[in-house]
Amino acid sequence: MLNQKDTDKLDIFNAVCWDYDINANDVYHILITKNDKNSPISFDTLRYKVLKYIPIDSIKSIFSSQEISSIFSDVNIEKVRNPQTKDFLNTFVTKKEN
C-alpha cells in the first residue's frame, strides 16, 4: 500500500495519461500488475510512454530495482530515444544478466 508521500510521487505519471481516460494511480497499477484488461492503453504501450516522458531518476524514486526489472527488462531499447534512458536500460539489463 502506498503512503501519501509515495502517492504524491505518482503525480508525475499524469504526463503519460493526458490522452487516455486513466489517472496516475492507474498508470502505477498497470505497470506493477501488468494488468491492462480494463484499460484504454496496453501495458506495453504504457511502459514506452513512461520511458519517453518520465525522467529515469523519477522512475527510480517510485519503483524498486526489482520492479524496474519486472516492468522494463524486455523493452526494445532501440525504440527508446532518450540517451540517458537508453544508457540506464543498457546498464540495468547488463547488471541483471551478470
Through-space distance between the first and last CA atoms of the chain, rounded to whole angstroms: 32
pLDDT tens-digit readout, 41-65: 999 999 999 999 999 999 999 999 9
Over its C-alpha atoms, the chain yields an Rg (Å, rounded) of: 13
Q: Which residues contact 48 (CB under 8 A, 6 or more apart)?
A: 75, 79, 80
Asked if residue 60 lies in contact with residue 68, where contact means CB atoms within 8 angstroms, the answer is: yes
Task: Tally the C-alpha atoms within 13 A of residue 66's C-alpha that lie toward its C-beta.
Answer: 0
**pLDDT for res 8:** 76
Q: What mean pLDDT, rounded, does the chain reach?
A: 87
Pick the more confident residue, 20 or 6: 20
